[in-house]
A and B are shown apart, each in its own frame.
Chain A
Amino acid sequence: MTTTQASRGSAVVMTLYLLFLLVPIYWLVNMSLKTNAEITGTFSLYPLNPTLNNYRIILTDPSWYMGYVNSLIYVVMNTALSLAVALPAAYAFSRYRFLGDKHLFFWLLTNRMAPPAVFALPFFQLYSAVGLFDTHIAVALAHCLFNVPLAVWILEGFMSGVPREIDETAYIDGYSFPRFFTRIFMPLIASGIGVAAFFCFMFSWVELLLSRTLTSVNAKPIAATMTRTVSASGLDWGVLAAAGVLTILPGALVIWFVRNYIAKGFALGRV
């Protein structure tokens, strides 16, 4: 009797929790399927006249969909760059003792703690001066500032979980360092690389301030595009909502792929 009450109670709490959690997302999807007239004119819990017109606008208008393309380009660039830099760095931190290694490791992390706004001005001026302004690589490089430390931190944890003797055995067997690293070592920390890539992807995808400051037209990210609709003819609610839904999707997809490793990733491999 009491157990059924308890389980019913926890079910209620869980339902309420999920409800509150999903209300904003539901409302976003709800809006994206309505016309502007319905959004502003009536209050309805579900679309009375469901329409995909908002999505059609985004997927056909280059000024919209190029926002996604731009964002994806610099996010992928950033993820690849961050991992390419972080893998050797994390290996050095996990395998070698050198002068000031602990300080350097901590200093890397402090980069992660500074708000991006601090770096917006120097980046803007520097990139303008060297002609990198409004390019994808500019945003990708800027995001490395906080993604590389994060990736190093995650990967170092995973790498330290691999016994050093494996490295030595490989050298004794005759593996050169690059060959050992790619053939033996990277498969061993594959889940770590996955988790690091996921975090780089996510942080670069959601970051708005730097990406908007460093671009104007050619590499304009989707988040910046979304603010455009405010000016034209009032607010284009429906299209904006559809854009929002499409912005959530890549993140949700990536989470789905790495869901089994994500907890380990938050523990930074130190499990």
Chain B
Amino acid sequence: MTLELRGVTKQVAGQHWIHATDLVLAPGSMNVLLGPTLSGKTTLMRLMAGLDQPTTGHIHWQGQDVTGRRVQDRGVAMVYQQFINYPSMTVYDNIASPLRLQRVARAEIDRRVRETAAMMRLTPMLDRRPLELSGGQQQRTALARALVKGAGLVLLDEPLANLDYKLREELRAEIPRIFEASGAIFVYATTEPEEALLLGGNTATLWQGRVTQFGPTPQVYRRPQDAVTARVFSDPPMNFKPVQVSGGEAVLDGTRWLVDVPDGRYVAGFRAPHLTLDPGAGTVGLSARLDATEITGAETYLHLRHGEDRWVGLVPGVRDLPAGAALTVWLDPAHVYLFDEGGRLARAAPYAQAA
């Protein structure tokens, strides 16, 4: 039950939508495809499903080459961002339809439909039609239909993106439970780093049609291989600042701290929550200018300008600061990643190495 992509590429009208990709998804694993819009998540997923054929390369499923095999024979399941159900059928018939096509016995169909519906909390809605349900229930119906057939590969393409906040939280909490119960390979596409972290499993970060890194989610988050991965896997995006290392010391705004990398030019990267407005033990002060603040109830986003670089800071509490003000923000060097000039990771942030 392994899905393997070998040198898969996809070109449309001369443009590379997916660059050569090798990916091995282990049996019964949760895999998150993380990347911004148009990074190739959906394209990659459609290749996995067999809805589109790769331009070059092969897709192996359970050791067999399934490249070019009809999607009907692939035994996959897929849920879209839009709530896709069969509007003319009841919820019961919607869930039952893949089983009927597999010519499962009637009693068995009934048992499995009711079991799946109970898991998705749809039991009271079985006689209704999908369009008479709320968005969350419609998406549950789509999920139920994807799960009921017991496919070995379940593809979820931003399944929660069209739901309102509350429902999204609710359903997201259920997905790991559903995943545990199914034993299938799950592939889950999302644009949100937070969602990837909550789901756990493995994460593949995508950027402009390339898988930049694939590995256990916490590891990809804490030790991104390169600056692009770090940027994709940070929300708000990671802040960057060129630094010079000489004599084992990095210099930033006149402040120095010890680093264990060879001398040269590097790019320092750090995430928004690691900027603070108050100095702490061992922190480095950086003078910046405030462009704007965004207050989200309990937290404040600071949009800063440091020389030519734009940074985003996230500090707890409501901080009402005047736009245009000069202020000093503080950064613990333990939270700073160093990337070399080619963008490869030179040194992970010490706090991440410890974790």
Whether B84 lies near A172 (C-beta < 8 A) is no
Whether B145 lies near A173 (C-beta < 8 A) is yes
Taking CB atoms, residues of chain A closer than 8 Å to B70 are 171
Count, chain A residues at interface, CB 8 A: 16
> Residue among B49, B77, B86, B142 with the most chain A CB within 10 A?
B86
A207 interface hit (Cβ, 8 Å)? no
B197 interface hit (Cβ, 8 Å)? no
* Surface stretch bound by B, among A98-106, A162-170, A213-221, A234-242: A162-170
A171-B72, A176-B72 given as contacts; is B84 within 8 A of A165 (CB)?
yes
Whether B82 lies near A165 (C-beta < 8 A) is yes
Whether A184 lies near B76 (C-beta < 8 A) is no
A224 interface hit (Cβ, 8 Å)? no
B80 interface hit (Cβ, 8 Å)? yes
Give Cα distance in the complex from A176 to B142, angstroms. 19
Taking CB atoms, residues of chain A closer than 8 Å to B74 are 172
Whether B149 lies near A173 (C-beta < 8 A) is yes
Give B67-87 as 1s and 0s: 1 = Cβ < 8 Å from A's Cβ atoms: 000111010111010101011
Whether B71 lies near A172 (C-beta < 8 A) is yes
A171-B51, A173-B101, A188-B88 given as contacts; is B72 within 8 A of A165 (CB)?
no
Taking CB atoms, residues of chain B closer than 8 Å to A171 are 51, 70-72
Whether B84 lies near A163 (C-beta < 8 A) is yes
A187 interface hit (Cβ, 8 Å)? yes
Whether B87 lies near A175 (C-beta < 8 A) is no
For window 275-334 of B, CB contacts with A under 8 Å fall at none
A174 interface hit (Cβ, 8 Å)? yes
A163-B82, A165-B82 given as contacts; is B88 within 8 A of A172 (CB)?
no
For window 175-196 of A, CB contacts with B under 8 Å fall at 175-176, 179, 184, 187-188
Whether B86 lies near A184 (C-beta < 8 A) is yes
A165-B82, A168-B78 given as contacts; is B97 within 8 A of A173 (CB)?
yes
Nearest Cβ in chain B — how far from A207, in angstroms? Answer: 34
Whether A165 lies near B80 (C-beta < 8 A) is yes
Give Cα distance in the complex from A165 to B84, angstroms. 7
In the complex, the chain B residue whose C-beta lies closest to that of A177 is B72
Taking CB atoms, residues of chain A closer than 8 Å to B84 are 163, 165-166, 169
B98 interface hit (Cβ, 8 Å)? yes
Taking CB atoms, residues of chain A closer than 8 Å to B145 are 169, 173
Taking CB atoms, residues of chain B closer than 8 Å to A184 are 86, 88
Whether A169 lies near B80 (C-beta < 8 A) is yes
A174-B98, A175-B72 given as contacts; is B78 within 8 A of A169 (CB)?
yes
B15 interface hit (Cβ, 8 Å)? no
In the complex, the chain A residue whose C-beta lies closest to that of B151 is A172
Taking CB atoms, residues of chain A closer than 8 Å to B82 are 163, 165
Taking CB atoms, residues of chain A closer than 8 Å to B51 are 168, 171-172
B residues lining the A interface (CB < 8 Å): 49, 51, 70-72, 74, 76-78, 80, 82, 84, 86-88, 97-98, 101-102, 142, 145, 149
CB pairs A–B below 8 angstroms (20 shown): A163-B82, A165-B80, A165-B82, A166-B84, A168-B71, A169-B80, A169-B142, A171-B70, A171-B71, A171-B72, A172-B72, A172-B74, A172-B76, A173-B145, A174-B72, A174-B101, A174-B149, A175-B72, A184-B88, A187-B88
Task: Beyond A172-B72, A174-B102, list 19 extra A-B contacts (CB 8 Å).
Answer: A163-B82, A163-B84, A165-B84, A166-B84, A168-B51, A168-B71, A168-B78, A169-B142, A170-B86, A172-B51, A172-B78, A173-B97, A173-B98, A173-B101, A174-B72, A174-B101, A176-B72, A184-B86, A187-B88
